[in-house]
Structure 1
Amino acid sequence: MKKDLGVKPYTFPMPVLMIATYGADGTVDVMNMAWGGVCAENMVALNIDEDHKTAENIKARGAFTLSIADIPHIKEADFFGIATGNKMPDKFARSGLHAVRSEKVDAPVVEEFPLILECRVAECQHTAYGFRVLGEIVGVLAEEAVLDEKGRVVPSRLNAFVFDQFQAGYYAIGEKVGRAWHTGAELAK
């Protein structure tokens, strides 16, 4: 029997994404975000509060990078969700991570994260549901260690983790258990 839990934003898994921007003074800012992801073949959507330093930076610079957080840097990733750039201007420096300027957009690339999407702001939306940023993916960077011999990302090599919105936990991504567009094909016959 099912129990009614009311209205909650319960989906699982939720990605743990790192949004990196530059402030007005060139300071690197990184924010941990779970409410966003791919919304078209070359687009991402970020649903963030407009009062975040990251939102201010995105509007001013018109660009950001979006990285997949990995288990070796879970402490830093969680810190980016705890600390706010509005109150802690040296937030990124405290993390001990390193950044270089993207060659494609006016945003930083965090060197320690294994997969980075370089994005140009396509649109900022103000809706009854909040502030949303649509970003056009103009480049993708990946550490060679996470690629197979054909240059494709191997998910298990990312060491990514996901967010559990039910109990505020992080979970490692497990083993491959099926093949998309194949595992259920026999039911289509």
Structure 2
Amino acid sequence: MRKDFGAKTWLYPMPVFIVAAYDENGRPNAMNAAWGGIYTDDVVGICLSEGHKTTRNILATRAFTVSMGTADFVTTCDYLGIVSGNHEADKLEKAGLHTRKSGHVNAPIIEELPMTLECELVSYDPDTCHLTGRIVNVSAAEEILDENGQIDPTLLKPITFDPINHHYLVLGEKVGNAFADGKKLKEK
């Protein structure tokens, strides 16, 4: 038996993206965005309304970063989602976050969040609020790298948003091997 809920914005996992950009004066701002993901090989797509300070910053500078929200900074990530840069100019400072300029795009990297996509704006549709950006670089702090120099999700501890219960959930438990486990069924 199944229960119907109708059309909802429910999907698992829903990433917790922290999107950051500079304003016209070089002041960084960031927001929490859950509606997004990889769009094509080197493009990320995110739904951001035009009223957000961060969206206006991206449209002005044509660059932004996307950091993964993490379990270690869940309270900070939530704060970035409930406080508007339109009303709080010192939002990042009040959150206790520090930024540095990306070496690849004109956008801030949040030092405390250990994985960041550095992006150039490709397009923005104000009717659908769909923003796309070309990923120029992915940077990661050394403390989340494994012995082979690759990002270890158990060290990153990325969080997802549960849109039904309004919880944040941590990812990390390995349950299988991609492009391998399904071969067992192919051999039958």
TM-score range, shorter chain: over 0.9
Structure 1 residues without counterparts, runs of 5 or longer: none
Could you say what secondary structure the match of 1:21 adopts? strand
2:150 corresponds to 1:177 = no
2:49 corresponds to 1:28 = no
> What is the distance in 1 between the residues matched to 2:136 and 2:165?
35
> What is the distance in 2 between the residues matched to 1:36 and 1:174?
19
Q: CA deviation at 1:24?
A: 1.8
Could you say what secondary structure the match of 1:19 adopts? strand
2:45 corresponds to 1:45 = yes
2:46, 2:132 within 8 Å by CA — same for their partners in 1?
Answer: yes
Match of 2:137 among 139, 163, 176: 139
> What is the distance in 2 between the residues matched to 1:57 and 1:126?
14
Task: Tell me what 2:102 maps to.
Answer: 102
> What is the distance in 2 between the residues matched to 1:10 and 1:116?
25
Q: CA deviation at 1:126?
A: 3.6
Which residue identity lines up with residue 43 of structure 1 in the other structure?
V
Superposed, which structure 2 residues align to 1:1-189 within 5 Å?
1-127=1-127, 130-189=128-187
Deviation beyond 3 Å, 4+ runs, structure 1: none
Which residue identity lines up with residue 165 of structure 1 in the other structure?
P
2:15, 2:159 within 8 Å by CA — same for their partners in 1?
Answer: yes
Could you say what secondary structure the match of 1:73 adopts? helix
> What is the distance in 2 between the residues matched to 1:166 and 1:184?
30
Q: CA deviation at 1:150?
A: 2.3
Change (3 A) 1:102 1:174: closer
Could you say what secondary structure the match of 1:124 adopts? strand
Which residue identity lines up with residue 50 of structure 1 in the other structure?
E
Which residue identity lines up with residue 94 of structure 2 in the other structure?
R
RMSD between aligned residues: 1.1
> What is the distance in 1 between the residues matched to 2:55 and 2:27?
14
Structure 2 residues without counterparts, runs of 5 or longer: none
Which residue identity lines up with residue 162 of structure 2 in the other structure?
D
Cα deviation, 1:135-164, whole Å, max 9, x if unaligned, reads 001111101111123221111110211110
The alignment's TM-score, normalised by the length of structure 1, stands at: 0.95
Which residue identity lines up with residue 153 of structure 1 in the other structure?
I
Q: CA deviation at 1:174?
A: 3.6
> What is the distance in 1 between the residues matched to 2:101 and 2:126?
29
Could you say what secondary structure the match of 1:20 adopts? strand
Which residue identity lines up with residue 35 of structure 1 in the other structure?
W
Question: Percent of aligned pairs with the same residue?
Answer: 39
The alignment's TM-score, normalised by the length of structure 2, stands at: 0.96
> What is the distance in 2 between the residues matched to 1:51 and 1:10?
23
